[in-house]
Amino acid sequence: MTHNKIENNVLERVTPSSEYRKKTDSAIHKLKEKIQSEITKRKLPVSIELVGSTAKDTYLKNNMDIDLFLVFPATFPKEEIARHALEIGRTLLEKTEESYAEHPYIRGYFNDYKTEIVPCYKIENASQKLSAVDRTPLHTSYVKKHLKESQKQEVRLLKQFLRGIGCYGAEAEVEGFSGYLCEILIIKYGSFRNLTEETQNWKRRERLALTDGKHPSFDTPLTFIDPVDINRNVASALVEDRFNLFVKACQEYVKNPCITFFFPNDVKPWSLKKIKSEIQKQGCLYIGVKLAKPGLIAENLYPQVRKAAKSIWDACKRYNFTIYDSTFHIDEEESKIYIIVKAKSESLSKTVVHAGPPVELKSNAKEFLSKWSDNPKVVKKPYEKNGRLYVEIKRDYREIKDFLKDQIKHLSMGKHLDKIVNKKYKIVELDDMLKENLKTFWTEYLDQKMSWER
């Protein structure tokens, strides 16, 4: 496949050199030897399998992870495979974190390389799987068999393109394209260039497959049936805004290829004065909930923060506040989470008219009258209008700040965030959020330039 100058430049920057490969191969070999020693010591019937982009030679220079699977026979107890994998990982890796998918697994560092040690069961095909991770070695085998040598560079181009536009990774922090999805996209379309051109025709709920026949339906922006397991959608982690961003980026790249799609310029933060000025031009109210960041890995933290932002949005709407947007920022410097709501700058009316049932629904009408006739919140007693009952009542909250201050503890924010909110949180107004360490966040949020336009 011929590449343009930009793509050749990208490949020069992201393709591992022979020296880099030697160094990484040496680290992998050393780690496998150490794991084998532990396996022998424990007398385990286990084989070690290198999986992921390293095994498939589709990894990017300076972005290489070591993913080693400990493959157990299906008869081995589940609790035992987890225990052994975690103990081996704690013995051999530094800065370890334990994660829990269907099997617990451990991540950490070996010789400064990000490393995962994952237990799984040996299977010949996906129908035998006892958990989702058991499929992973089959993915590695499939790609090694079907991805041509020349297409490895196409995968590298696609991965770097996705990194540049902020869509690479299926983890909770990104909700984008996994490495395996990149590989089967190239197997399907043949090259990065073909993929970017074909993407112009993608619509929401696009369905792709490498195999013929009837496949299950998934309600996701993109479906790509797993060639190893036809009941699985490889693109299940991809959310709508990332799907739309990828389609837009491909359209723009085909029209005007540019190196910044792959290597965007850094955000140049605006001054706090400019940020404040831009917000004032909008005439909107920004209000935030500030709370301590729990010590969770990203996969567990981000879903909870997203849940909290949605919960706040929904609650504000229920109480008749006009909400234009909600967003969040996880500040590592402060170890704080900011959940920010953009709302209409207004005080709600003192009272609100609450609609009841039609008069002809006698039992419902009776219940409505009973509920509201002597309620202390009532400003105007229940009355009939056009065959329906109404009552005018005093609002609980006129200001969104008062509402959040009072109600935030009663919202479902996620297991760990609920505990934090029950102890301590702060409702912050705009001036409290115009800080040096939030300048980059505000600049990106307000500027709304695409990464390649910076």
Predicted confidence at residue 373, as pLDDT, reads: 87
Predicted confidence at residue 126, as pLDDT, reads: 82
Predicted confidence at residue 374, as pLDDT, reads: 86
Q: How many CA atoms lie within 13 A of 125 on its CB side?
A: 5
Instruction: Specify which residues 225 forms β-bridges with.
Output: 233
Closest by CA position to 337, among listed 299, 308, 300: 308
Helix extents (H) in 319-438? 362-372, 400-407, 415-423, 430-433
Predicted confidence at residue 193, as pLDDT, reads: 96
- β-pair type (206-208, 113-121): unpaired
Q: What is the pTM of this model?
A: 0.90
What's 357's DSSP letter? Answer: E
Predicted confidence at residue 1, as pLDDT, reads: 66
CATH number of the 272-347+398-453 domain: 3.30.70.590
Instruction: Specify which residues 380 forms β-bridges with.
Output: 392
Nearest-angstrom CA–CA distance, 110 and 67: 11
pLDDT along the chain (454 residues), means of 10: 90 95 95 96 95 95 92 90 93 89 85 93 86 90 96 98 96 95 98 95 92 89 95 95 97 96 96 96 95 89 94 94 95 94 94 92 92 90 92 94 93 90 93 95 94 94
Written as one letter, the residue type at 453 is E
Predicted confidence at residue 125, as pLDDT, reads: 87
Nearest-angstrom CA–CA distance, 439 and 436: 5
Instruction: Specify which residues 68 forms β-bridges with.
Output: 50, 117
**The CATH fold of domain 1-136:** Beta Polymerase; domain 2 (3.30.460)
Domain residue ranges in the chain:
1-136, 147-264, 272-347+398-453, 351-394
Closest by CA position to 412, among listed 329, 322, 315: 315
Predicted confidence at residue 72, as pLDDT, reads: 94
Residue 46 vs residues 28, 107, 126, 215, 348: alpha-carbon distances, Å: 17, 19, 20, 34, 66
Any idea how long the chain is? 454
Which residue's structure tokens are 């890796």?
93
Predicted confidence at residue 101, as pLDDT, reads: 65
Predicted confidence at residue 448, as pLDDT, reads: 86
Q: What is the pLDDT of residues 51-87, one digit of tens each?
A: 999 999 999 998 889 999 999 998 999 889 989 999 9
Neighbours of 22 (CB within 10 A): 11
b or e along 286-303 (b: 16 or more beta carbons within 10 Å of the residue's beta carbon)? bbbbbbebbebeeeebbe
Tell me, yes or no, if the two domains 272-347+398-453 and 351-394 fold the same way: yes
State the architecture of 147-264 in CATH terms: Orthogonal Bundle (1.10)
Q: In whole angstroms, how large is the CA radius of gyration of the chain?
A: 27
Q: Which CATH superfamily is domain 351-394 in?
A: Archaeal tRNA CCA-adding enzyme catalytic domain (3.30.70.1550)
